[in-house]
Amino acid sequence: MKLPRRSVDEIVSTVIDAPLGDARRQRRLGQLVRRLAGAPAASLPAALGDDAQVQGCYRLLNNPAVTFDALMAPQSDATRVRSEAVGRVLVLHDTTDCSFPHLDPEAIGYLQTGKAGFRLHLSLVVEAGTWRRPLGVVHAETISRAKKSRRKKGKASGPQTAKWQDRESERWWRGMSSSQQWLKDCESVIHIADREGDSYELMAKLVQAGIHFVIRVRVDRRGRSVDDDDAPWSKVRQVASAAQGLMERQVPLSRRKAKGTVRMTGAHPPRKQRIARLGFAATGVVIPRPVYLHDPIPHQLQLNLVHVREIDPPDGEPPVEWLLYTTEPAHSAAQCEQVVDNYRTRWVIEEFNSAVKTGCAYEEREFETLHALLNALAISLPIACELLWLRSRARDTPLARATDVLTARQLQVLDALGSRKLGPSPTAQDALLAVAALGGHLKRNGPPGWRVLQRGLELLLAYEVGWAAAQARRGRGRKM
């Protein structure tokens, strides 16, 4: 997918004020971002056009004066401005691995696999209205392990991790507290996290700071209903099962393939696409402080607990079930539904991660230093944000113009050489599906993913070069 000129201009304006200490670096940065936004998935030589531009890119991103933090600062501020204009926002937090198996892990860092890479923790802001438009990344940090972990294999217990001085789990608090500071003048800010955010210490800090959240339950810790102070402690899941049902709703579930590891498959079992009938229930829950934590962390937390479970799942299919901790009211059907819809927005950041890695081909960039990789990441984030919004627009507003996502010449090439014809007045959705078809996508397989779009776009760009060369040759022939 190609970003339209107004999107490219917006991205350039987002990063151009980075404090790089030299106006020439800032001009080079603007040129680099403009060219990469014009062909996000293309290789550097294809996107930049000639060897001189490629060498200039390498010099800029390896320059010690150009840093990840410097490139991120204007992005965070631009996200703040957009968020304040919207008023009500959700902040989606997630951690993903960036893998570079062709590089030396001693230079880049080690992943759990032992290969080169680092962990990327992001805080993506989206508007809380109907469209859930991504507004930008307000906080980003990377965790690069200098060597393989020497800690014992297997899952560490809470008392063990509490003693660690370099706990990676602290990234959740850093991301949420930093984001909240940037967005403090917004009308409403709610932070969303998956199971990894289920930490008593984290939730206690958030409550004490007045930060609102929805976090999915991972640990079936002790708890009891707020309505029965004399009841013995049981388990949070047991408290949820006794909660009063508030409503039912049918929800489409997408197909999910088996994951690469036994652990991931257990947490996210494969399933077929279907329409699920879900029951929503909610109650107040009190959870006690774990014994390995101490003051000033409070002895108890009182939160609302929302329980989502599938009613009558198909034979052989694991039932859908979520437990959500939240600071938001969940006493009525409408309030409960709002909490669930806010949590469901978390999937936007999964798509954003794919937009960075595949839509921007970030993991395929052939930089050899961690410094350059981090700088390349910083300039990929606003491009990925616009890519995600454009793809969502093509899906959600199918009658938008095709020229919003492709140039007139690219549409001409696609119509002539692609397997899916566009017709006289193509829409953005028509263009999206035509590019996907070029990459091997079959319409019956559902919406195209980033990988098939990348393949299609690479072919389209190659066809466009040949098309332009043929037109130039014909033009020279007419002058002779």
Confirm whether 297 is domain-assigned: no
Question: What confidence tier does 94 reach under pLDDT thresholds 50, 70, 90?
Answer: very high
Query: Is residue 114 one of the residues assigned to a domain?
Result: no
338 token code pair: 């709002």
The whole-chain average pLDDT of the chain stands at 87
> Is residue 195 situated within a structural domain?
no
Residue with tokens 């981090």: 374
In a domain, 278, yes or no: no
Q: Tell me the percentage of the chain whose pLDDT exceeds 70.
A: 90
**Domain assignment of residue 99, yes or no:** no
Residues 402 and 377 in one domain: no
Q: Domain holding 425: CATH number?
A: 1.10.740.10
Closest-CA residue to 379 (of 10, 25, 33): 33
Would the pLDDT of 80 be above 80?
Answer: yes
**pLDDT at res. 260:** 58
Could you give the angle at the alpha carbon of 405 between the alpha carbons of 404 and 410, nearest 5°?
115
> What is the distance between the alpha carbons of residues 398 and 410, in angstroms, rounded to a whole number?
19
Residues 13 and 52 in one domain: yes
In a domain? residue 23: yes
Closest CA to 257 of 270, 274, 272, 273: 270
Q: Do 402 and 432 lie in a common domain?
A: yes
pLDDT, tens digit, 9 for 90 and up, residues 435-478: 888 888 877 677 777 777 767 877 887 788 788 788 777 776 65
Answer whether residue 255 is part of any domain: no
Q: What are phi and psi of 95, to 5 degrees?
A: -120, 135
Closest by Cα among 167, 237, 232 to 202? 167
Q: What percent of the chain has pLDDT over 90?
A: 50
Residue among 399, 444, 437 at smallest CA distance from 417: 437
Domain annotation covers residue 16? yes
Which of 322, 355, 381 is the last residue in one of the domains? Answer: 381
In tens, the pLDDT along 201-217 reads 999 999 999 999 999 99
Task: List pLDDT tens digits, range 224-245.
Answer: 999 887 788 999 999 999 888 8
Residue ranges making up the domain that contains 32: 5-67+368-381
Is residue 426 located within the same domain as residue 467? yes
Q: Are residues 416 and 374 in the same domain?
A: no
How many structural domains comprise the chain? 2
List C-alpha distances in Å: 388 to 144, 170, 252, 341.
26, 28, 21, 19
Which amino acid is located at 209 in the chain?
A
Q: What is the pLDDT of residues 353-366, one digit of tens each?
A: 999 998 888 999 88
Contact predicate 298/208, CB 8 Å: yes
Note the pTM of the prediction, 2 decimals: 0.84
